[in-house]
Amino acid sequence: MRTFEEGQFDIIVVGAGHAGCEAALASARLGLNTAMLTLNLDSIAFMACNPSIGGTAKGHLVREIDALGGEMGVNADKTALQIRMLNEGKGEAVQSLRCQCDKNAYHREMKRTLENTHNLHIVQGECAQVLVENGKVSGVVTTYGGIFKAKAVILATGVYLNAETVTGEHRQKSGPSGFAPATELTENLINLGFKVRRFKTGTPARLDGRTINFDACTRQNGEDGVPAFSFLHDAPPANSHECFITYTNKYTHEIILDNLDRSPLYNGDITSAGPRYCPSIETKVVRFSDKDRHQIFLEPEGADTNEIYVQGMSSSMPHDIQKQMYRSVEGLENCEFMRYAYAIEYDCIDTLDIYPTLEFKKVEGLYTAGQINGTSGYEEAAAQGLIAGINAAFKITGKPPLILGRDEAYIGVLIDDLCTKGTEEPYRMMTSRAEYALNLRQDTADFRLTPKIENTALLTQERAEKFAKRKKTYEEVLSVLNGKADYNGAMKFGEEYGLLGNMHGTTYADLIRRGGKVEDVCAHFGILQGVKKEVIKTAETTVKYEGYISKSRQQIEKAKKLEEKKLPPDIDYSKIQGLRLEAREKLERVRPLTLGQAGRISGVNPADITVLMVYLAMLKK
């Protein structure tokens, strides 16, 4: 193949999905000359599955992305059709925003943002090879022979590597929604030393909304008064569309069970690992055979289309069986299909091969982000893309990398899990994965993370001013709530709301901890009038759970002592006396950066950590 020079760049981002978009924007905004290479300009920020942003734990990621100067939250607010706060009946730590977006508008807005970003060049083409010289990345080559030279490369290839869609007996080399797959890069990655494996995901059918009987379904409205995703936006997006809920039934399940021999998941055609927490309807019916129905959400794909996304009913069944399945559901009896459901298999890497910076251990300057790292979900991808973009830019400009701790962000939990534990199935972020969930609430994302982008171009003047104002208001609200309440007023409040205890020297915070609601306290005593509801809510949570948060901080400080103990990069674990064989193998595979990371490796126990501590002490002698 004849090659030619396409250009010289600082950073090249391969892929323009949610990871690629954040990576390219971050590096370009930080002043690095960046090229984004994408298979198809029409697939930029494409929502191949549900056109929604956020959800449990995922909403936390979006607000953290925004706090670090990312774009996903901003774009979600711009294109929202409906927004709600999930888990409001549960504790504040698990409450999370979820937004139904306009699929086409989301793509258009992100593409417009990318095109108008200084330092960013976008080109359509397929990456065939990553160029490496003396152990360092030097650029990429396209299938057309174009050479893009660069100091760093970020691979954000999504589910496109050797992608194949599967529906019943039909298998086709294709990316999501008919986009072309990337067929030439995987072999190059294997030659570079990546361990490549095969994962699977899927998507449900899209139905013509005009053929759905929504009157037979339960209406699900948006929620007014919830905050926007982005801390830059003062008002939440308007709710313009409704969603609906229906259920499968006994007849639906009979159709599925009677045709399992035609399901690629059960007849042996699909053998790759699929997502545990977003299974196909076939898997749900088989795995939960005691359930006589499963919840199905009917959600709009956009304001300019009749397409309805049938969440909860992804499938790889053949088309004729899909028609029977869907039409057995109440409200869908006469539904017409616009797009059939399908499964998709694709290549991804073993993330034990990358550092917490998302840089490949065997090639300096080569980073990976998103579904190539074995994750599922737009939010997980975007979070990794942002960190990869920042770290690639920081490496080139000589700044220390940004590595977020598990106590600092869900992004830190996500990346640490990938780099320390790895994943044998598509990884999904959940609140239960975080040890310090109460400290990582979505409403405190800016307090935790925005200071980390100070003195960088990611912290724009607008963001800096809004952050300073919000932080000052929050501190003032805390000061007021910790002030003493009038004794007579406290007595009356206690009697009215059934609060027990001595009211002498009682603070407003004490009344909240005893069970009073902050809005009732504010109304009764006439305090904090005109202050934004979201800021008051954050302060209320802080005072209400002060004891738990304080205890959690003590645990964090204790854990940090291990995180601060660095492990030599050239350490030979095979020569450390006292380490068990399994520990040696796992430590050699992961190559942890700190003692704390070593302790989180599956197969490394506390006794092994003690051995490592003794070894480190001996090195200092």
Place of tokens 């300096």: 364
Of 377, 398, 385, 338, give the one whose Cα is nearest residue 358.
385
pLDDT > 70 fraction of the chain, expressed in percent and rounded: 100
**Farthest CA pair distance, the chain:** 87
- The token duo for 146 is 């174009």
- The token duo for 533 is 């509801």
How confident is residue 89, by pLDDT bands cut at 50, 70 and 90? confident
State the chain's mean pLDDT as an integer. Answer: 95
87-109 per-residue burial string, b: 16 or more CB within 10 A, e: under 16: beeeebbbbbbbbbbbbbbbbbb
Q: How does pLDDT run across 584-599, given as a tens digit for each residue?
A: 999 999 999 999 999 9
Q: According to the model, what pLDDT value does residue 500 have? A: 79
Q: How does pLDDT run across 296-334, given as a tens digit for each residue?
A: 999 999 999 999 999 999 999 999 999 999 999 999 999
How confident is residue 615, by pLDDT bands cut at 50, 70 and 90? confident
How confident is residue 451, by pLDDT bands cut at 50, 70 and 90? very high
- Please tell me the distance from the alpha carbon of residue 226 to that of residue 532, in angstroms, as a whole number: 11
Name 618's Cβ contacts closer than 8 Å, sequence gap at least 6: none
Question: At 74, phi and psi to the nearest 5?
Answer: -60, -45
- Please tell me the distance from the alpha carbon of residue 120 to that of residue 316, in angstroms, as a whole number: 39
Name 335's Cβ contacts closer than 8 Å, sequence gap at least 6: 207, 208, 211, 212, 326, 327
- Please tell me the distance from the alpha carbon of residue 174 to that of residue 597, in angstroms, as a whole number: 38
Of 256, 258, 261, 277, give the one whose Cα is nearest residue 329.
256
Name 86's Cβ contacts closer than 8 Å, sequence gap at least 6: 55, 56, 59, 95, 96, 97, 98
User: What length is written for the chain?
Assistant: 621
How confident is residue 558, by pLDDT bands cut at 50, 70 and 90? confident
How confident is residue 559, by pLDDT bands cut at 50, 70 and 90? confident
- How many helices (H) and strands (E) in the chain? 20, 22
Of 393, 406, 449, give the one whose Cα is nearest residue 29.
393
3-class DSSP state of 527: coil
Domain boundaries, the chain: 206-342, 464-552, 564-620
The DSSP code for 308 is E
Question: At 172, phi and psi to the nearest 5?
Answer: -140, 135
- Please tell me the distance from the alpha carbon of residue 150 to that of residue 548, in angstroms, as a whole number: 48
> With contact defined as beta carbons under 8 Å apart, do 408 and 444 qualify?
no
> With contact defined as beta carbons under 8 Å apart, do 63 and 29 qualify?
no
Query: What is the secondary structure of 578-621 as a DSSP string?
Result: T--HHHHHHHHHH--SBHHHHHTSTT--HHHHHHHHHHHHHHH-
Q: According to the model, what pLDDT value does residue 1 have? A: 74
56-76 per-residue burial string, b: 16 or more CB within 10 A, e: under 16: bbbbbbbbbbbbbbbbbbbbb
Residue 620's CB is within 10 A of a number of other CB atoms, namely 5
Of 563, 569, 560, 578, give the one whose Cα is nearest residue 615.
578
* Cα–Cα separations (whole angstroms), residue 71 to 20, 22, 80, 419, 468: 12, 7, 14, 25, 20
- Please tell me the distance from the alpha carbon of residue 489 to that of residue 487, in angstroms, as a whole number: 5
Q: Going by DSSP bridges, is the β-strand pair 342-349/164-167 parallel, antiparallel, or unpaired?
A: antiparallel
Listed range (205-219, 449-463, 541-555) with the worst mean pLDDT: 541-555
> How large is the average pLDDT for residues 515-522?
93
3-class DSSP state of 186: helix
Instruction: Output Rg (C-alpha) for the chain, integer angstroms.
Output: 26
pTM strictly above 0.85: yes
- Please tell me the distance from the alpha carbon of residue 621 to that of residue 602, in angstroms, as a whole number: 30
- Give me the CATH topology for the region 464-552: Arc Repressor Mutant, subunit A (1.10.10)
- Please tell me the distance from the alpha carbon of residue 528 to that of residue 520, in angstroms, as a whole number: 11
Name the CATH architecture for the domain at 206-342: Beta Barrel (2.40)
Q: How does pLDDT run across 152-206, given as a tens digit for each residue?
A: 999 999 999 999 999 999 999 999 999 999 999 999 999 999 999 999 999 999 9
* Residue of 67 and 495 predicted with greater confidence: 67
Of 378, 396, 352, 348, give the one whose Cα is nearest residue 153.
396
Q: According to the model, what pLDDT value does residue 53 have? A: 97
Q: According to the model, what pLDDT value does residue 503 have? A: 86
- Please tell me the distance from the alpha carbon of residue 495 to that of residue 480, in angstroms, as a whole number: 22
> With contact defined as beta carbons under 8 Å apart, do 62 and 73 qualify?
yes
Q: According to the model, what pLDDT value does residue 23 have? A: 98
Listed range (10-14, 92-96, 113-117, 390-394) with the worst mean pLDDT: 92-96
Q: According to the model, what pLDDT value does residue 501 have? A: 82
Name the CATH architecture for the domain at 564-620: Orthogonal Bundle (1.10)
State whether the Cα torsion 15-18-19-21 is positive or negative. positive
